[in-house]
Structure 1
Amino acid sequence: MMTGNIELQSTTNHGTWRWLGRIGYAIMYIVLILVAVFQLFPLVWLMFFSLKNNQEVFNLPPLSLPMHPRWENYSKVWNAGNIDVYFLNSLWVTVVATVLTVVLGSLVTYAITRMKWKGSSLVLGLFMVAMMIPVHSTLIPLFNFFNKVGLTDHPLSLVLSYVAFNMPITIMILLGFYYSLPREVEEAAVIDGCSVNRMFFRIVLPMTGSVIATTAIINMIYNWNEFIFVNTFISSDSYKTLTVGVQNFIGQYTTDWGAIGATLMISILPILIMFLFLSDRIVEGMAAGSVKG
């Protein structure tokens, strides 16, 4: 009889914990849904904002639908606003700077983690210290340098600046993953007569695909959204990017707010789409690079 009571009590406790677990999961999902809605609020507001004219922007509530959706705002900024040129400039500058940063960062990380040479710790320390340098403190020195070498108002000044400022964070993300790579694979390649360069490009680089994808996505987001360097070094419309192109719709006496909203929406969509499709690679690369051994 006592055994039956114990089993009944155990079953009751198990059922109680199961219901508590379900309630906990329900609360967690409700909280996550609320956070997701809060995160999506600016995008919804910007979408409605981009389909309004100036009167609707100031007279209607922020989340109200436009009385007559003005899709012509997008065609106006793309054709008359020179946004197509700015979009292509942002695209190729972002891609070139990202590829250079990832390749150079991988080479530096490989040399620091897989080779024994004097000064490797010093070089790593210098890169880590570079992360603490504020971007704003370098604007005047960089402008003077680019002015002396004839690179002001030239896209190469943006590419060089992006590579220099993104190298430290790229190396920091790559370090943990490179430390965890098994040395047996490289030792076997050396026995087979593989050179260092071939070993890096044929063996090591393909093994680091997940963390390279992570660093590439982070670099692309930064390069695509960067404003300070473009606004400082570039003055010609033919070299401007999307982040500064929005200023074309801000006049001395009037401002086309609908066109500004359409420009911002166009600038957000590529990064948003890329992040939605590749966000799992960011988590995978971060998790892979966080474990050593």
Structure 2
Amino acid sequence: MISGNIRNPNGIAESKSGMISKLGYALLYAVLAAVAALQLFPLVWLLFFSLKNNQEVFNLPPLSLPMNPRWENYAKVWSAGNIDVYFLNSVWITITATLLTVILGSLVTFAVTRMKWKGSSFVLGLFMVAMMIPVHSTLIPLFSLFSKVGLTDHPLSLILSYIAFNMPITIMILLGFYYALPKEVEEAAIIDGCSVNRMFVQIVFPMTSSVIATTAIINMIYNWNEFIFVNTFISSDAYKTLTVGVQNFIGQYTTDWGAIGATLMISILPILIMFLFLSNRIVEGIAAGSVKG
């Protein structure tokens, strides 16, 4: 009878630890919800901003709904604002630069990690040092170079600049994954008479599809949002991208703020949708490339 009335101290301790754990998770979820709301605030503000006219932008609170949503702002910027041309330019320049960067980065990483040759460490060091070069310090030399070879106001100047500045980070992400690849597969391919080029195309490149997807997404986000190179090297409307197209609605005496908001919303949506659907691939690729052995 006496032993039946004695409380189990281990059970009390487990109950308390369970309550503390639940409180901890509740606090964590509350903090994450607050951070998520804070991250969504600019997008909500921009959406409301794009549906207002100039009077509503300056007279109404930032998060207030427009009295009469002006969806015609989107139609105006797409047709009269030349945004359709800028959008297509952003798409094909981004895709072209991303594909070339991923292919060249994979070739360099394969040569550095899977082939033995003098100077491989030095070449890899040069690419890593390039990550420390500020973009703005290269604008004048690049503009002078492109002027001499006739590439100013040409989309090739953007593609070459994107490839050059994205190659170091692309190689850095690929390195860990390439070091972790089993050499036995390559040795078996060589024994079967497979050439180096065929081994890269048919064996190594498909094996790195997850980390390649990661580098491609990162490259696309950077290329899509890039502004300084487009603003410096491109002057004609035929080759401008969305990031500089917003300047069309800034006049000397008047500025159409609703049209600017609509342009920014159009430029954000594609990359936002892509990131929402492919964010897991980024995490998987970085995690796969971070483990060696």
TM-score band, normalised by shorter chain? over 0.9
Residue by residue, what CA displacement relative to the aligned partner does 1:45-99 show, whole Å, maximum 9, x if unpaired? 0000000000000000000000000000000000000000000000000000000
Deviation at 1:11, TM superposition (A): 1.1
Matched, 1:9 2:23: no
Distance 1:264 1:10 in 2: 59
Counterpart in the other structure of 1:222: 222
Matches of 2:276 and 2:158 in 1, distance apart? 27
Matches within 5 A, 1:250-269: 250-269=250-269
Identity %, equivalent residues: 82
| Structure 2: runs of 5+ lacking an equivalent | none
Partner secondary structure for residue 161 of structure 1: helix
Tell me how far 1:208 sits from its aligned partner.
Answer: 0.6
Q: 1:12 to 1:224 in 2, by over 3 A?
A: same
Pair 1:38 & 2:38 matched: yes
Q: 5 Å matches for 1:182-261?
A: 182-261=182-261
Which secondary structure does the structure 2 equivalent of 1:238 belong to? coil
Listed one character per residue, the Cα deviations across residues 79-121 of structure 1 (whole Å, up to 9, x for unaligned) are: 0000000000000000000000000000000000001000000
1:81-160 equivalences in 2 (<5 Å): 81-160=81-160
TM-score (structure 1 length as normaliser):
0.98
3-state SS of paired residue (2:40): helix
In structure 2, C-alpha distance between the alignment counterparts of 1:23 and 1:11, rounded to whole Å = 18
Hey, what's the Cα distance between the residues in 1 that align with 2:21 and 2:141?
59
Read off the aligned partner of 1:23 and give its amino acid letter: L
**1:66 matched to which residue of 2?**
66
- When residues 55 and 3 of structure 1 are mapped into structure 2, their CA distance, relative to the original with a 3 A threshold, is same
State the TM-score, normalizing by the size of structure 2: 0.98
Q: Give the drift of 1:5.
A: 7.6
Structure 1 vs Structure 2 CA RMSD: 1.2
